[in-house]
C-alpha cells in the first residue's frame, strides 16, 4: 500500500510540460528569423503573403481549439471573424474609438455570442452540430446584409487617417507594422494553444473528444467544457477580423461572414475528419473566389499540430497558382480521403 501511495505521489509531482532543448533552439531561430525578415527589404507581396499566413494560422488555431480539442466541427466560425471586423470598424467609424480598443470589444462580443450560441447548440453532436453552425453563420451574414446601421450589404468603409497611424492602426507607407502585429498574434496564439494542450483543461477537452460518455462518468461536465472551448475559440478568431478590417479598410458581409473561411476545398478528394478528431488545419486561403485570379504560386508549410493525440504532426498546405482550390496533405492518421 505504501508503494502504491509513493508511486501515485511521484506521478502527481511529475511536470506536465517537457521541454526539448533542440526543439526550443530551432523554434527560437525561426522566430528570430521572422522578426529580422523585414530588415532584408522584402517586397510588399512577400510581406503580404506572410501576413496572410500568420493571420490564417491564428484562425486555424481558433478552429483547432473547438474541433481539435473538444471534437466539435464548426462550419460557421466566420461569425467571430466578422464580429471582430465589424466591432473595430464600426466603433472607429461611428465613435472614433481606436481599433486597438475595438479589438478588445470584438473579443468580448464574440465571447458573449459564443456563450449564447454554445449553450443550446453544443447539445448537438456530429453532423447535426456542423449543420447548425453553418446555418447560424449564414444567418449572421443575412442579418448584417440587411442591417442599415452597419452599412447593410454595402458594408463599412473605414476612413483613412494619415495623421496618427498607430492610433488608427493604419500604416499606408509600408506593410511592416502589419507584419509585426500579425506575427505577435501568431506567436502568442501558438504559445497559448501549446499551454492549453498541456493543461488540465486541455486534457479534459481531449477526454471529451475521445469518449464523452467515459469523461462524464469520471465527473467531467461535458456541456460546460464544450462551451468553454467554444468561447476560447471565438476569442482567438475575433482579433483577426479586427486586424483584417484595418488592413483592407472595407468591411462587407459577403467577405467577413463568408462560409468559405470555414470550408476546405480539396482536389481531387475531400479530407474528412475521422472519429471527431482533428489536427490543426492551416487554412491559408487568400481568396476562394475563382473569379479573382491572383498568382500566389506554390507554398509548402510544415507546422506542429498541438491539438492531435501526438505532439507533432506534419502538415503541408499547397496554394494553387491561380487561387480557387486548396489541396491539403497530412500524415495524421485522423485524416482519410473521402469521395
Rounded Cα distance, 88 and 169, in Å: 10
pLDDT at 269 over 60: no
What residue has cell string 497530412? 330
Q: How confident is the model at residue 14 (pLDDT cuts 50, 70, 90)?
A: low
Indicate whether 16 pLDDT > 50. Answer: yes
Q: Are 238 and 80 in contact (CB under 8 A)?
A: yes
pLDDT tens figures, 153-208: 888 888 888 888 888 888 877 889 999 999 999 999 999 999 998 888 998 999 99
CA max distance for the chain: 73
Cell of 70: 473538444
Residue-level pLDDT at 228: 93
The model's pTM is: 0.73
Q: Is the pLDDT of residue 15 over 80?
A: no
Strand residue runs (E) in the chain: 156-157, 250-251, 270-273, 315-318, 327-330, 335-338
pLDDT digits (tens, 9 = 90+) for 31-45: 999 999 999 878 888
Amino acid at each position: 500500500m505504501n508503494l502504491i501511495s509513493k508511486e501515485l505521489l511521484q506521478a502527481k509531482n511529475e511536470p506536465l510540460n517537457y521541454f526539448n532543448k533542440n526543439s526550443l533552439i530551432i523554434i527560437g531561430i525561426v522566430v528570430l528569423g521572422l522578426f529580422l525578415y523585414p530588415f532584408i527589404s522584402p517586397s510588399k507581396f512577400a510581406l503580404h503573403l506572410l501576413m496572410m499566413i500568420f493571420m490564417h494560422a491564428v484562425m486555424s488555431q481558433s478552429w483547432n481549439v473547438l474541433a481539435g480539442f473538444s471534437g466539435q466541427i464548426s462550419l460557421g466560425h466566420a461569425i467571430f471573424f466578422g464580429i471582430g471586423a465589424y466591432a473595430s470598424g464600426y466603433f472607429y467609424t461611428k465613435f472614433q474609438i481606436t481599433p486597438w480598443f475595438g479589438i478588445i470589444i470584438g473579443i468580448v462580443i464574440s465571447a458573449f455570442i459564443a456563450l449564447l450560441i454554445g449553450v443550446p447548440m453544443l447539445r448537438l453532436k456530429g453532423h447535426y452540430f456542423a449543420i447548425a453552425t453553418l446555418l447560424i453563420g449564414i444567418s449572421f451574414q443575412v442579418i448584417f446584409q440587411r442591417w442599415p446601421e452597419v452599412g447593410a450589404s454595402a458594408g463599412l468603409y473605414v476612413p483613412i487617417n494619415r495623421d496618427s497611424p498607430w492610433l488608427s492602426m493604419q500604416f499606408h507607407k509600408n506593410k511592416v507594422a502589419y507584419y509585426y502585429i500579425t506575427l505577435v498574434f501568431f506567436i502568442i496564439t501558438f504559445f497559448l494553444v501549446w499551454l492549453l494542450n498541456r493543461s488540465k483543461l486541455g486534457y479534459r477537452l481531449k477526454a471529451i473528444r475521445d469518449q464523452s460518455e467515459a469523461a462524464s462518468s469520471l465527473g467531467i461536465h461535458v456541456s460546460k467544457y464544450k462551451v468553454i472551448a467554444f468561447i476560447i475559440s471565438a476569442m482567438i478568431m475575433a482579433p483577426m477580423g479586427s486586424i483584417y478590417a484595418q488592413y483592407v479598410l472595407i468591411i462587407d458581409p459577403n467577405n467577413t461572414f463568408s462560409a468559405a473561411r470555414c470550408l476546405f476545398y480539396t482536389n481531387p478528394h475531400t479530407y474528412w475528419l475521422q472519429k471527431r478528431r482533428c489536427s490543426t488545419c492551416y487554412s491559408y486561403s487568400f481568396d476562394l473566389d475563382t473569379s479573382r485570379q491572383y498568382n500566389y504560386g506554390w507554398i509548402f508549410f510544415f507546422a506542429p499540430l498541438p491539438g492531435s493525440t501526438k505532439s507533432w504532426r506534419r502538415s503541408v498546405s499547397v496554394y494553387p497558382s491561380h487561387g480557387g482550390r486548396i489541396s491539403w496533405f497530412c500524415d495524421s492518421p485522423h485524416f482519410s480521403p473521402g469521395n
